[in-house]
Amino acid sequence: MKEEKAVKEVKKKKEEPTIYDLPGVGAATAEKLLESGYNDLLSIAVASPGELVEVAGVGEAAARKMINFARNSLDMGFESGDELLRKRENIIKISTGSKAFDSLLGGGFESGSISECFGEFGASKSQIAHALAVNVQLPREKGGAEGTAVFIDGESTFRPERIVQMAKAAGLDPDQALKNIKVARAFNSDHQMLLAEKAEDFVKENNVKLIIIDSLTSHFRADFTGRGQLADRQQKLNKHMHTLMRLAHKHNICIYVTNQVMAKPDVFFGDPTTAIGGNIVGHNSQTRIYLRKGKKGTRVAKLIDSPHLPDGEAVFIVTEEGIRDID
């Protein structure tokens, strides 16, 4: 009996600490953290003291102790370039359905990062979202990830009928394809942020490989009006983007967000179109694509920012079957 007890104690010591092991954290505080999406030490380690003070109701000194404990418990040091290269071998590329578009993206929309498509209405941002929600379910050899999708719908753009069309064209069972997409309607910016935080529950239980937010900024524009609220809007948007970035990195998920645009009045030559959200969205999106209407019903995707891909353009069309190349 003593030997068994000793073995259990050794195993317990080897187990990684949890939220309940944080210094000064009781059951009530731990529950507050879990309800706010801080469900592991990594989420605590990358949080700011102000965030923990707000959600857990602790003092700033206690919040700093929690963060330091989490950081010391995790291996958060430097990694060599070859280690990161090996990790990138696990990156999954999700096909759009167009070879030209996939080639522009180095094989498709990649997991582990945030990809943003922005453009005026009718530029096919939502069509691409629907196509990815279907294609993510395909086998990897066919440009999929053999996973499911979470669709956070901020503009009432999700159409199950469109999924059925694309699923049939991809050779998938339409009913099963719909079941593999978890849809949530966001009604304001706070609700959208909450859904992104709660999405982690679906990630763990449903093999989620894709999270779609259509659109990223529409509610933030509506909830924060005027220059007086611009700083508050950008601060909340920044927090939202960091939540998505953490999900992408931690679970190797592809995050696809659509964004609205506006015309800059001070641009007299060239295209005055610019994405909403400013540098906050720009710096947090690893891949940025500008979509615009082309000639004869075509669409043009212009890669304007990527950490490892050259700038370029791809022309595609939207058919009943999905995103396709020009014949």
Res 248: pLDDT: 92
The CATH H-level superfamily of 2-73 is: 5' to 3' exonuclease, C-terminal subdomain (1.10.150.20)
Res 85: pLDDT: 83
- Enumerate the domain spans of the chain: 2-73, 85-324
The answer to whether 2-73 and 85-324 have equal CATH topology is no
Topology of domain 85-324 in CATH is Rossmann fold (3.40.50)
Res 272: pLDDT: 61
Res 232: pLDDT: 85
Residue ranges of the chain whose pLDDT lies below 70: 1-15, 76-77, 263-273
User: In this structure, what token pair is assigned to residue 191?
Assistant: 């609700």
Res 32: pLDDT: 87
Res 268: pLDDT: 54
Task: Decide if 275 contacts 283 (C-beta within 8 A).
Answer: no
Res 269: pLDDT: 59
Res 110: pLDDT: 95
Res 265: pLDDT: 58
Res 264: pLDDT: 63
